[in-house]
């Protein structure tokens, strides 16, 4: 529980423009009423918000978050400043869009908003991946000369800001009353026995519709114990196949080659037999249970044998390489060596010298 709630007598709920979420602030002013516009101090700066509740005792506030104060009621000057800030935010939006195109950034701007004292501006943008906007910030800071915050949102947040009409003909739930987005899965559509047509199950954001979760728990309770579609059922001594189930009307359609009948869940449970699907498992060979110690010893022996085999496999190729190298060297040496052939010695011839008389 927050300790600062003791500094204020009352707490109120406040809502800002473009959002449905309520924020709690502390005050000592007893003249504040539902519908008044107030100036409050937030983590972003000074902002103008609408009071959407009556005064409540501060003891009802249970939270560990810091309780921000209500500064005063808004007057005509505050309204004029607020409208003037909206015009400046549009100009800043146009300048930012031009710089985004110039820098070739893959981001789509959704909105821009100044704080009441114009010390900070917030740009909301949509992007599939992270965007490196450091160069963009330099241009914006030089032109706007104030603190700048760029906030990335997803497809659902964008649909909440823009709004729209859903398939039901009413305003989108996210822009009307939702403050948080829950995880929506295709299993919720399966529980409600809906056709798995993704385009029809998707909302304005392109994601699965939030309303699929609203009745998911109730459908799980109603469908619990009922047979699955295309399962076999025995009813009035005949075998039927479950063709369709309508849990809201409590109608189950059974059919076989001879006839088609509609029964309620109570009639089926009383007079019918639901066959459970048979799961065929492979037979496992009976292996004698060995003591744990012997199994561990065998595992260690097998590991040692594998290591020895690996070492032998590594040694054998090395030996083969060495032998091959020696063979190649011997072949080269034979080619370069010249064979010595023994030749017979020629007889020495005596030189005869003739003297003239």
Residue 147 lies in a domain: yes
Whether 100 and 138 share a structural domain: yes
Residue 119 lies in a domain: yes
Sequential pLDDT tens for the chain (357 residues): 445 555 788 888 888 886 777 888 988 888 888 888 999 988 888 889 889 888 888 888 887 777 888 998 998 898 899 999 999 999 999 999 999 999 999 888 988 999 888 889 999 898 888 888 889 999 999 999 899 999 888 888 888 878 888 888 888 888 888 877 888 888 888 888 788 888 889 988 888 998 888 888 888 888 777 787 888 888 888 888 888 888 878 888 888 888 888 888 888 888 878 776 555 555 555 544 444 444 556 666 777 677 666 555 555 555 566 667 666 766 656 555 444 444 455 555 554 544 554
Residue 198: domain span:
160-221
Which of 40-44's residues contact partners 24+ apart within 8 Å by CB, and which partners? Answer: 40/14, 40/68, 40/69, 40/70, 40/71, 41/68, 41/69, 41/71, 42/68, 43/68, 44/115, 44/120, 44/122
Last residue of a domain, one of 45, 74, 103: 74
Whether 69 and 10 share a structural domain: yes
Residue 291 lies in a domain: no
Taking residue 16's Cβ as centre, other Cβ atoms within 10 Å add up to 17
pLDDT score of 95 = 93
Taking residue 174's Cβ as centre, other Cβ atoms within 10 Å add up to 26
Taking residue 149's Cβ as centre, other Cβ atoms within 10 Å add up to 12
Instruction: Say if residues 164 and 175 touch (Cβ distance below 8 Å).
Output: yes
pLDDT score of 123 = 92
Tokens of 123: 């740009």
Residue 164 lies in a domain: yes
Across the beta sheet with 238-246, what order do the strands follow?
260-263, 251-255, 238-246, 232-235, 272-274
Our count of domains for the chain comes to 4
Residue 167 lies in a domain: yes
Last residue of a domain, one of 74, 93, 108: 74
Across the beta sheet with 147-153, what order do the strands follow?
108-114, 120-126, 147-153
Q: Which of 100, 98, 94 is nearest to 112 (CA)?
A: 94
Whether 170 and 213 share a structural domain: yes
Last residue of a domain, one of 53, 74, 95: 74
- At which residue do the structure tokens 């963009």 appear? 136
What's the Cα-to-Cα distance from 45 to each of 2, 40, 48, 126, 282, rounded to whole Å?
21, 8, 10, 24, 68
Instruction: Say if residues 247 and 268 touch (Cβ distance below 8 Å).
Output: no
Residue 328 lies in a domain: no
H helix intervals, the chain:
76-103, 134-144, 155-162, 173-176, 186-191, 198-201, 216-223, 265-271, 292-336
What's the Cα-to-Cα distance from 102 to each of 95, 99, 136, 233, rounded to whole Å?
11, 5, 10, 67
Residue 341 lies in a domain: no
Residue 209 lies in a domain: yes
CATH number at residue 262: 2.30.30
CATH number at residue 86: 3.30.300
Whether 39 and 64 share a structural domain: yes
């Amino acid at each position: 529980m927050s300790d600062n709630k003791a500094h204020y007598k009352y707490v109120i709920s406040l809502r800002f423009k473009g959002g449905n979420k309520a924020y709690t602030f502390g005050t000592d002013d007893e003249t504040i009423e539902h519908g008044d516009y107030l100036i409050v101090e937030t983590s972003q700066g000074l902002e103008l918000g609408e009071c959407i509740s009556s005064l409540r005792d501060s003891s009802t506030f249970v939270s560990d978050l810091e309780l921000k104060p209500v500064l005063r009621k808004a007057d005509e000057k505050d309204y004029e400043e607020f409208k003037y800030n909206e015009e400046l935010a549009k100009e800043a939006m146009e300048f930012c869009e031009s710089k985004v195109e110039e820098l070739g950034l893959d981001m789509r701007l959704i909105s821009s908003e100044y704080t009441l004292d114009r010390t900070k501006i917030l740009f909301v943008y949509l992007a599939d991946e992270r965007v490196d906007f450091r160069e963009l910030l330099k241009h914006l800071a030089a032109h706007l000369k104030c603190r700048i915050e760029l906030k990335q949102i997803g497809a659902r947040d964008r649909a909440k800001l823009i709004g729209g009409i859903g398939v039901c003909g009413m305003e989108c739930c996210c822009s009307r009353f939702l403050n948080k987005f829950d995880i929506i899965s295709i299993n919720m559509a399966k529980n409600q026995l809906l056709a798995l047509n993704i385009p029809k199950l998707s909302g304005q954001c392109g994601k699965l519709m939030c309303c699929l979760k609203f009745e998911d728990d109730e459908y799980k309770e109603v469908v619990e114990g009922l047979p699955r579609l295309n399962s076999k059922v025995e009813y009035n001594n005949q075998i039927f196949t479950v063709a369709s189930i309508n849990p809201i009307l409590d109608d189950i359609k059974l059919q076989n080659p001879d006839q088609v009948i509609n029964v309620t869940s109570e009639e089926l449970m009383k007079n019918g037999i639901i066959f459970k699907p048979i799961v065929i498992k492979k037979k496992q060979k009976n292996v004698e249970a060995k003591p744990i110690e012997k199994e561990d010893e065998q595992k260690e022996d097998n590991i040692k044998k594998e290591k020895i085999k690996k070492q032998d496999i590594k040694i054998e190729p090395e030996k083969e390489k060495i032998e091959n190298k020696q063979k190649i060297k011997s072949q080269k040496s034979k080619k370069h060596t010249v064979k010595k052939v023994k030749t017979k010695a020629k007889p020495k011839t005596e030189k005869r010298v003739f003297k003239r008389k």
